[in-house]
Amino acid sequence: MLRVLFKCILKVVYRTEVRGLGNFHKAGARVLIVANHLSFLDAVLIAVFLPEKLMFAVNSHIAKRWYFKPFLALVKAFPLDPTNPMSTKSIINEIRDDRKCVIFPEGRITVTGSLMKVYEGPGMIADKAGAQILPIRIDGAQYTVFSRLKGKVRIRWFPKIILTILEPRTFEVGEELRGRQRRQMSGLKLYDLMSEMLFDSSDHRQTIFQSLLDQSSIHGRGHLIAEDANRKPLNYGRLITRCFVLGNKISKDTAHGEFVGVMLPNMVSSIVTLFALLAKSRVPAMLNFSTGSKNLVSACRTAKIKTVYTSRKFVDAGDLAPLTEAMEEAGVRVAWLEDVAASVNLIDKAIGLLSGFFPSFFQRLAPSCKPDDAAIVLFTSGSEGTPKGVVLSHANLQANRYQLASRVDFGPTDIVFNALPIFHSFGLTGGTLLPLLSGIRTFFYPSPLHYRIVPELIYDTNATIMFGTDTFLSGYARFANPYDFYSIRYVFAGAEKLKEETRKLWSEKYGVRIFEGYGATETSPALSTNTPMHNKPGTVGRLLPGIEYSIEEVPGIDHGGKLIVRGPNVMKAYLFSDEPGELACPENQTYDTGDIVSIDEEGYVVIKGRAKRFAKIAGEMVSLTAVETYLSDLWPEHHHAVVSVPDPKKGEALLLVTDKPEATREVIGAFAREQGIGELSVPKTVMAVKEVPLLGTGKTDYVGVAKLVENHAEQ
């Protein structure tokens, strides 16, 4: 009777919904049920909505408290004393007797809203008992008064609660592992299972603009979400209203599904433009204005872009008039946002305001858009060849942000500082979509190159999370005051290899760990990242949930091979310059990264270099990336690029292009010998230049480097 009463109350008050109940029956008899822990309601929800009377592992001290007595009457409680090893053995024996036991692996109610520390004990219990693991995701309970997130999220009296029961699973721990190693591996496997549960049960099959509307509903229209250097913060309500006003104007000059160019810096107005296009089912093509007019016009032709939206103020401030003139000469219409804003009248504002208050209704009137439709077009950096257009769907981008959120505890109390350009996948997904679609306030700054200004603004905005490349992060560290990063919780680095010198400087001077990650524009972009829970310096972390991989052997490479990945975040299609506007879709959501990697027994990925960036010298394969790495250790304040050139005796030879004026082969050779590095990895030729060519993202521009080498050879 008590169970029925609780069930009726929860059904009425929270409209509780249970999904995947068939998986509960599929799991069989010997089952360990694991769930995320959002509130004091969690155990009651599982107890009353699952069809059997379950055994709950309950902390023996908590079980004695009077207010837990009514709940304990609903279940078979197993008091668990964490300090007593015999207690754990007893629960293993209970499960071996074909019982279903519920454990919350986090051990405590979350205070971040995300997955927190997962203890090793439940993983060991599942391993020893030989049990099926049944993951259950609880969602919505974090917004009730029974959570510990008051002041961090918008608490509501009657939020909808959903219990999602996923497929039962098992994990295998190598038979050779014993004792503590086996316990640690069991804990790691359980953590992976929990993060996979969060990702698998996430709503990544949704359009981006619909996610924006959902977040406004969850956090409230008044929740501040975006700010820039103009210091006029925008909340969800005003952001959505402006999206409808601008979107209605843009839709008159563009067609449904059309690729529309966007050439704007990191500003709130740029974010409004981006979401306005998405609201009207147009596809923003983010143009890299740092690549020059030739590449910009090429990008417009590749994607068949007819219209580019930009700003006069931005073009004048950046001396970018030659770019807009080149596009107009190529037949592309340049639309100025200032002119669009001037054309907005009272009727437009009234319709936009009405749409902002009833967005779901007005969104249904817009042209339909599906999760697998193209959402955004980005262009590859072209660091080693001609840039290509990369078409990412709504589902690709949504999957990647949920993959990241399943491993890192972001929350609405965080503040993201994003100076990475939104035409770059790292700045778009990590610095823009992830926070804006998670209720996280974001400060946008137009240039990552202002090494003195950025640290000061991070201090001023109390930012807690930032993204950067090694080039930018080392620049900030050189000029910042030791207190500028006092509020920073996490720094995520990507796009280029993180130098040990940069990592050490941030750790020792600022007390901040940098978490290095890895990805590609074609994968939306993140494939792996180190996290606060799992961090191994020198690696790029562990592959994210939902990503399958294979390692293809490469002749001459003994340890590791070429990484090929498959997953929901792999791009929808390529756009090639020789077939403008034609989508070249990958087979079976598979992408060949072209990177040589090795993956250890814990799943940490080490990047050894690009498959193209190996030289065959005297029959031996030499990684150009590895040579650049040790040169960075020798001269950390300078930039180095190593390329291979033909050699009549050994087939190929290494040539170093560096901005270190006094660099010599003799000094490099002496350092290499000290480090135990072979003679084949010492550059045969050293070419000192004033500046090593870089792309706007801070990556080495190897096309530019090749031109320098070619010109030098001609001279």
Residue owning tokens 């401030």:
317
- Would residue 394 show up in a list of annotated catalytic residues for this protein? no
CA distance 521 to 375: 14
Please answer whether residues 272 and 243 qualify as being in contact, where contact means their C-beta atoms are separated by less than 8 angstroms.
yes
**Catalytic residue, candidates 25, 37, 256, 639:** 37
Please answer whether residues 249 and 348 qualify as being in contact, where contact means their C-beta atoms are separated by less than 8 angstroms.
yes
Which uninterrupted H or E stretch holds 97?
A: none
Please answer whether residues 605 and 518 qualify as being in contact, where contact means their C-beta atoms are separated by less than 8 angstroms.
yes
Task: At 438, list the tokens.
Answer: 């998670």
- DSSP letters along 109-130, please? --SSSS--PPPHHHHHHHHHHT
| Rg of the chain (C-alpha set) | 27
Strand-strand pairing, 651-658 and 640-647: antiparallel
- DSSP letters along 434-489, please? HHHTTT-EEEE-S-TT-TTHHHHHHHHHT--EEEE-HHHHHHHHHHS-TTTTTT--
Buried b (16+ CB within 10 A) or exposed e, 325-342: ebbeeeebebbbbeebee
CA distance 515 to 541: 8
Please answer whether residues 684 and 647 qualify as being in contact, where contact means their C-beta atoms are separated by less than 8 angstroms.
yes
- DSSP letters along 324-387, please? HHHHHHTT-EEEEHHHHHHT--HHHHHHHHHHHHSHHHHHHHSPP--TTSEEEEEE---SSS--
Alpha-carbon distances of 647 from 78, 246, 287, rounded to whole Å = 73, 58, 39
Alpha-carbon distances of 413 from 112, 254, 357, 442, rounded to whole Å = 9, 38, 25, 11
Handedness of CA 356, 362, 364, 368 (dihedral sign): negative
Task: At 688, list the tokens.
Answer: 């000192």
CA distance 8 to 97: 32
Residues 6+ apart with CB under 8 A from 150: none
CA distance 274 to 423: 11
CA distance 428 to 519: 13
Residue owning tokens 């994990």:
171
Alpha-carbon distances of 310 from 256, 279, 539, rounded to whole Å = 20, 18, 39
Residue 13 CA, chain-centre distance (Å), reads 35
Catalytic residues: 37
